[in-house]
């Protein structure tokens, strides 16, 4: 009987469930599409006897509405479930944010720059690929000075033989001092931080590149006493108020007189220990009064002006401050090493 079939279909539809939109669409097609089961009953309408048509038509429409409502209801449930699944669970523990650390060389460079900035020095910069003039000739290096040898300096390999001998990687940042003196009239008071290159085998104690900070002060009546006072202040700011300095005579082509500076050992305070090889002193920098030849090469009148210069290695100072035993650690990017400097920020 048709009426029974309507009831059966209604019972079936009332039990329907769907876990996602796809399953739901399959149900809609099964019952309500052109070839669906509900539609099939409509097609049988014409076979119904006239006296039954009214009741039957009513029931059929009810069934159709019931099925449509049921499908819509299921659609709402599906949407709600999907929304729930995509919800962010705010109770889950967060992924930890890994915060980077400053490189130890950057920390020490910043500390040194800060000290000299307070003394009135400004920053100067220059290229790492340089010419012979700015690295050697203007700085009073003799034509046969050993530093000009292939063994000490990197030459840029170019086809033009003339250029090949002339273009090099700077072996010290004194080249920036030359560039500044060429461009600027005294008084000049600058520090030049930067990377420098030397043709050395890489070991725990030497590397083919490292970092320097050099300083230059040119004015009227600048004396060696001024140099010594600035360096004493610098050493005490960097290593502590009780630090002592001593200057030993030395030689650089671009300074006369020249000196090397030691500071009292930061471990034993000058008593003598294994770290300072029982001398009480450790060497930290080279310095001197700018050679008049250098001033003249850069267009500065050496009868009117005098000046001092100093240069130090940032790796060396970092080793002394943090007792880093192996220079290679600075360029290996090992986070375990870098993380040790988190507290130094």
Q: By CB under 6 A, name the binding residues for ligand PHE.
A: 172, 174, 214, 252, 255, 286-288, 309-311
Measured CA to CA, the distance from residue 155 to residue 171 in angstroms comes to: 11
Smallest distance, ligand PHE to C-beta of residue 89, A: 59
CB of 229 to ligand PHE, least distance (A): 16
Minimum CB–partner distance for residue 294 and ligand PHE (Å): 10
| Cβ 238 to ligand PHE shortest distance, Å | 17
Select 193 or 311, whichever has its Cβ closest to ligand PHE: 311
- SS3 track for 12-30: HHHCCCCCCHHHHHHHHHH
Closer residue to ligand PHE (CB): 252 or 341: 252
**Bridge pairing between strands 129-131 and 209-219:** unpaired
Among all chains, which residue has been given the structure tokens 């943090």? 322
Residues 6 or more apart from 7 whose CB is under 8 A from it? none
**Closest distance between ligand PHE and the C-beta of residue 196, in Å?**
7
Beta bridge partners of 260: 248, 286
Within 10 A of 259 (CB to CB), how many other CB atoms are there? 23
Residue number, 255 or 319, with CB nearest to ligand PHE: 255
Is 24 or 139 the residue whose CB approaches ligand PHE more closely? 139
Return d(Cα 169, Cα 178) in angstroms, integer. Answer: 15
User: Of the two residues 153 and 255, which places its CB atom closer to ligand PHE in the complex?
Assistant: 255
In the structure, how many helices (H) and strands (E) does the chain have? 12, 9
Query: Nearer Cβ to ligand PHE, position 9 or 191?
Result: 191
As measured in angstroms, the least distance from the Cβ of 154 to ligand PHE is: 15
d(CA 252, CA 186): 22
Angle between helices 2-14 and 50-86 in degrees, nearest 10: 10
Residue with the closest Cβ to ligand PHE? 311
| Assigned token pair, 64 | 């159709």
């Amino acid at each position: 009987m048709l009426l029974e079939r309507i009831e059966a279909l209604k019972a079936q539809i009332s039990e329907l469930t769907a876990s996602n939109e796809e399953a739901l669409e399959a149900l809609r097609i099964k019952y309500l599409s052109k070839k669906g089961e509900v539609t099939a009953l409509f097609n049988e309408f014409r076979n119904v006897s006239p006296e039954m048509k009214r009741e039957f038509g009513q029931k059929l429409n009810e069934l159709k509405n019931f099925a449509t409502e049921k499908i819509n209801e299921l659609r709402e449930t599906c949407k709600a479930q999907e929304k729930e699944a995509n919800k962010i669970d705010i109770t889950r523990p967060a992924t930890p944010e890994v915060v980077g650390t400053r490189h130890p060389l950057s920390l020490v460079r910043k500390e040194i720059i800060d000290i000299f900035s307070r003394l009135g020095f400004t920053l100067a910069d220059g290229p790492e690929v340089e010419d012979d003039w700015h690295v050697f000739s203007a700085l009073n290096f003799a034509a046969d000075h050993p530093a000009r040898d292939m063994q000490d300096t990197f030459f840029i390999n170019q086809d033009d033989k003339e250029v090949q001998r002339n273009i090099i990687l700077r072996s010290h940042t004194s080249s920036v001092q030359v560039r500044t003196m060429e461009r600027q009239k005294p008084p000049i008071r600058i520090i030049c931080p930067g990377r420098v290159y030397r043709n050395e085998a890489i070991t725990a104690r030497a590397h083919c590149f490292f970092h320097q900070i050099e300083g230059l002060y040119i004015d009227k009546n600048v004396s060696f006493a001024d140099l010594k006072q600035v360096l004493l202040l610098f050493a005490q700011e960097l290593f502590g108020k009780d630090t002592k300095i001593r200057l030993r005579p030395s030689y650089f082509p671009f300074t006369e007189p020249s000196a090397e500076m030691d500071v009292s050992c930061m471990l034993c305070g000058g008593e003598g220990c294994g770290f300072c090889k029982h001398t009480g002193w450790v060497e930290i920098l080279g310095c001197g009064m700018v050679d008049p030849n250098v001033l003249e090469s850069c267009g500065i009148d050496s009868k009117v002006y005098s000046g001092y210069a100093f240069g130090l290695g940032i790796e060396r100072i970092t080793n002394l401050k943090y007792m880093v035993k192996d220079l290679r650690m600075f360029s290996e990017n090992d986070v375990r090493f870098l993380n040790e400097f988190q507290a130094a920020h």
